[in-house]
Structure formats: structure tokens, C-alpha cells
Structure 1
Amino acid sequence: MARALTAKAVEALKADPEKRIEVPDPALSGLYLVVQPSGSKSWALRYRFGGKPAKLTLGRWPVMGVADARAAATEALDTLDHGRNPAGEKKAREEAAAQTNRDTVAAVIELFLRRHASHNRRGDDVAAMFKREIMKKWGEREIQSIGKRDVIEVLDAIVDRGSPVTANRLRAHLNTLFNWAKGRDIVQANPLDGIKPPAPEKPRDRVLTDDEIRLFWNACDGLAYPFGPLYRILLLTGQRLREVAEMTWREVDGNTWTLPADRSKNGDEHVIPLSPEVLAILGGLPRIGRYLFSTTGETPVSGFTRAKERLDKLMGEAVNKDLPEGAEPVKIPPFTIHDLRRTAATGMAGLRFPPHVVEAVLNHRSGTRRGVAGVYNRFDYADEKRAALDAWARRVAALIEGEAENVVRIERAR
């Protein structure tokens, strides 16, 4: 007779990366431990109701232990013995709770993200900003209670902490949210009406210096996987953060990465040649799922804000480690991850690659690739893009090795 599941046995169960597995608990008929390819585990009860098979999800391991899972399954079977469907009753309870809480800010935001923002390529960014800036403050409040003063207080606090651009972005997202809610008769008025962007903005022109590139590259060692290699690839390819962070192994073919149209900002398929330096980084990545950069095996990496804070700390420690006692600490001018893209573009231009080639690398449709010219000029400059990215990667490698002066710059194509 098979032994009943124990906490030690559940902990020791290994996932199959190719499929979900279900392990029955011999101690209670119908109770299963479900192990996902990612390694996450949960409890489920399988039974029959009305002559048809049914399933009730009980809870996740290790929050729900073995004894708790058996108790929950026993309670569900007791409900079944009384002629009622436990899965149906659970669904009814959840729907009733959702109806009761449907006007909370958290519930409206969830509906907004599902119905509206999910169709936007930046939907994940919107969701992350709401979670970071709004949920803890307003999540349990009814959305109709949010007034102009509440909005101004939140935006002012973000400006005061030194993040004026974030405040502007949040204002724009909240304005869209409340206009959407007004259109669905959830709110009668938009509290953002009359609230201007809290801070002026100017185009960024920040480019990392050679010394900063060295500090950045070495600090990536301290970040390890997934952020260390992710950040290095951003610098070497000049592509956008989300586009790289959500790369899948299927998109990589030999020394080429093809970004599908539905993931690119401008809606165009984009082919990115991969330099030997990038391929070396890819060769060292673990294979834990479909994404190159993932901590779960099921979803792409997240947590960019905290990772950037760790990167800044590591760079600051490195630049100040050999300062003489009493010397004024060196401060690295603030930069964003998007500035890596500008640094790569500036670096390729400095290597004498013409603007239309740099724009092709960046997948920009501006300047020489804009409007009528862009419609009729469908040439993708594949060879030129490879030459530019290879040269830029060699330039970065030489900087790291302290031999930048030996890099031979490529002459502008005639």
C-alpha cells in the first residue's frame, strides 16, 4: 500500500519541466498534489457531481500544508455528501465577494487592466505603476471617494521624493483610468480634470561615459542572473528593456534574434543581429522555461526598480572604494536603464555608422526611415546592422579590458 504524503515527501517532489504532474494522496481518495513545470505546487480535489467529473482547487503549498489540505478536502467531500457541489459553492462565494467589493479602487483597476490596458503594449508598465504607487494607499477605498485632493497629495509626494517624471506618468495613467471608469458609469466625475502635469519635462540626453560603462559592466557581476546578463545585453544591443526582458528562446535562431511585431513598440517585426559578445552571454544563461530571463520559469523577469537600485549601489561602492580617508565621495550622475539604449546609439554613431543604420538597429521610424521614405524604403540594412552591433560590442569589450584606444573605428559608408 502506498504511503500517505508527508510534508517531507511533498517538499522533495521534483517538477517535470515538460508537463504538469498530479500525485494522489493515498490517505484521502480524490486528493491530489499538483506540481507545475515551474515547480509551484498546489492541492486539488477530484470528484464526480451529477455524473460528471469535477475539480476543486484547495490551496497552494506550502501555505496550505498536508494536514490542512486533507481537512479542506474532507470538508468539501462532506458538502458533496449533502448533495451540493463544493466547486460550485466556492465559485458562488467568490462571485458574491467580488460583487460586494466591485467598487474598490483595487477591483476597478483590475477590471481596467483586463478590459482596457491589456490591449496596450505598455499594459504591464501601467499595472506595475498602479501596484507600486496606488494600491497600498487607495486599494481598499471605494473609487467614488477619490477626490482631486487625494490625487494631488499622491503626485506631490512622488515629486518630493525626486521622481517628477514618474509623477507625470502616474497622472496620465490615472486620467485614463478615471475617464474609462466614467464611461462605464463607475464614477460620475474624473478627479484629474484640471490637474496639470506636476513637473516640467525635457528630453533626456544622458549617455554613459567610458568610465561609467566600465563601472556598469563590472557591477552587473554583483547582480548575477537574471539582471546582470539582461543589463549587459541591453547595452550591447541598444534594444528596449521590455523587449529584451521578455525574449523567448524561440525568438533566437543562431546569431539572430527576431522580435515579433506584436512585441515591438512600433508594431514592426525587428531582426537584431547578435554579436559574439552577446552570444557568449546567452550561452551562459540557464534554461528554466521559455523565457531567457525568468525567476519562475513561467513569466518574464520583473522587479526592475529594485534591481536598478542595487546596480546604483554597486556602482557607487566601486567608484569610492579606493578613495583616501576624508575625501569627498564621488557621485555618479543619475541614469536610467533607457539611457543604455542612448549610449549604444551614441557609441555606434561615434564609430562612424550613419544615422539610418543606427535607426535601423534601434527599430526607429524617424528621420530617414519616416513617412513616405519609410514606406518605400523597406530595406532592413541587415549587414549594416550586424557590422554596427559587432563594432559596438568590440568597443565595449575593449573599454572593459582597458584597451579602447586600440579599437579601429569603421569609416562612414560612402
Structure 2
Amino acid sequence: MPLKELEVRYATKRCKDYKLADGQGLYLLVRPTGSRLWRMKYRFDGKEKLLSFGRYPEVTLAQARLRRAEARLALARGEDPGPKAAAPIVSFEVAARAWHDNRASALEPSHAARILSRLERDVFPVLGQRDLKQISAAEILEMLRAVEARGALDVSRRLRQHVSQVYLFAIPQGWASHDPAAGLATLLRPKPRVRHMPRVGVGELPALVRAIHAYDGDEKPRRRAVTRDALMFTLLTWARTNETRLATWQEFEGLDGSAPIWRVPAERMKMEREHIVPLSRQTVDLLKAVRVYSPGHHVFSGDKPGSPISQNTMIYGCYRMGYRGRQTVHGFRGIASTWANEAECYRPDWIEMALAHADRDEVRGAYNSALYLTPRRRMLQQWADYVLSMIEAPQKAAAPG
């Protein structure tokens, strides 16, 4: 595992030399005298060689990693890094990788990987080999315009942030004098306005709930049941279409206990992170009823053995209930969000977390999929009570509280 700053700072002397490895050949040599020296072992032309990067703390952990990155780039070009190790040229790629290494341990691994992938795809091919001090704002803007040209407006804005953060990391270490990306934010194309999916108002929810409960839009009884139950499950859990249709039984935990949950894996989430949904009593009852006619791998199985319902099953169900152009499956989330926000008894963070809208930027620190689980459980239970009360006594539907 990579070294931590505290390990280097408090490395104590022993009766003989010992090493603290940082990976990729870099290690800290601790001498019996107490001196701590940076070394890098590498092979060139079939021979094992050694680089000396200086003494800690004069050479920090971040600086040692920078010199390791430069040495590895030289090796990749077929050059022996030995003669150049004392006076490296700090290219953007070297600085960016050092910046990324310095903060990767504080990020969720998948998010750290996405950041590096963006840089490798769009920035390094254009600016990677350039000296940090020689890159102009116009060159960075040209690179970002190329990203915008393919319609990736969100990516272009994130790349500007990453480039700026690399410079903010480099400046205190003397690798650059200013941040040429700092003033570019206002020059980037704005993201288009969010197009909200059609949905009925909260006042029309009772009619929608009763239509789902009485759904008879398919000729085959099993198909009617799976469409009805998938729609109701989605409404009760605030899930997206693919989260529901691809749900498998192994994702559900504690259905017979007091705190049942649905653990949606990261690869199926829009934000690419695991999402935990606390399940109401009514949702658990629905799942147990579904299990009777859908015992296979998928909760909501399709007509073909081993396959889930199709992408269009639920939206066509909305059409058959008479809601074409008025209500989409994704729009269920909008109804739930409106209900929760108008109730004024649920914190916005609970609502956003229940909708899996949590900000994936690292500025919020480590992501916790179980965040606000207790208040979210209470909120979704009250939502289920509110929704299901409309079936038997729609004129007395319970208010949230």
C-alpha cells in the first residue's frame, strides 16, 4: 500500500537500515543515524539501477512521487531516467499524476478512476507533455472546446476543475507560477436546462394509484401482475426504471426482519455508486407476493426465461392506463419529491439521498450509501402509508407527518 505522510514523518531509526515501500520502486530508506532518504529501484537495459531523490523532509512525499512519475515516463520513452533525475522537467502529465496520487486515497476508488480516465482521454494527449509553466489559458480552452464539440458539456466543466486543481497543487511546489484555467469557467457553454419528465400533480395521485392497483392492460394474467407490481414497487421506492427492471432477489436483505433494505449495485446507478433503499412494510409485502410468481433470478421477470421485463414494459403500462403524454415512470420520482418537499417535515438532504441525487464530487468527502438511513426509512414508510391509503379510502388519504 502507498505510504502515508504520518508514516514517513514518524519513521524511527533502528539498529540497521530498513525500507518503507511506497510502490512502483519508490521507497524511503531509514538509516541507523535517523536520516530518511528517498530511493527508487528500476531496471534499464536488463540491469537493476537505483535513483536517489534526496532526503526527507527536504524532499516531501509528494515531491518524491513526482520524481518517480518523471522517471517512469522516461522509462516508457526508452530513456534512462538516471541522468535527469536531479533536474526534472515538470510536464502537465507528471504534475497531474502526482496530484492524483496525492489525493486518491481520500476518494472513492471508482471516482478516483473516473478522474484519471478523463485526464488520460482528453487532456494528456493535448497538454500532457507540455511544461506546466508554458501552457496558456487559450490552449486549455481549445482543449475544452473539443470536448464540448462532442456534446460532453458536464465533462468539459469537470476537466476545467481538474486542470485548475493540478495547478493549485503545483504552484506551492514551484512547478508553476499561476493557474491559467482559473478564469475559464464563464467561457464554457452552459449545460442545457433539465427537461423534467411528464407527471401528474400530487392532487391527481389517488387516481394514478388506483389505476395501477386495478391494472388490466395485458391479456396474460402473469404479465398484468408483473407490470402492476413493477409500477407500484417503483412508485413506493422512488427508483429509476432500470433500477427496478434489473433488480435481482439477491439485492434484498432482511425482508423478514425489522430493517429490510434493497442494496442497488453501483453499476446500475446513474451516479455509479451503490445505493441503499430502506423498504416500507407495504413494499416488503409486495415483494413477498411477487416471489410467488417470479422465483427466478430477476424480481420482475419477463416472458423469456432468465430475462427481466423489457425497457418499455412499465411505460407501456402507463399508456394503457390512459397516461400517455401525462405520466412517465421516471415522473413517479417527481411526484414523490414534490410530496416530500411540500410536507416541510423532511430535510432536503434526506430527499436528495432517497432519490440518489447525492453530489458525487469529492468535496463532500467519502460517500456513504447508508447516509440518513433511519430518517429515510421513516419518510418512505410514511410515503407508502400515504400512497396505499388511496386505494381503499382515497377521500381520506393520509397526510405526511
TM-score, normalising length: structure 2: 0.44
Task: Name the larger-Rg structure.
Answer: 2
Q: TM-score, normalised by structure 1?
A: 0.42
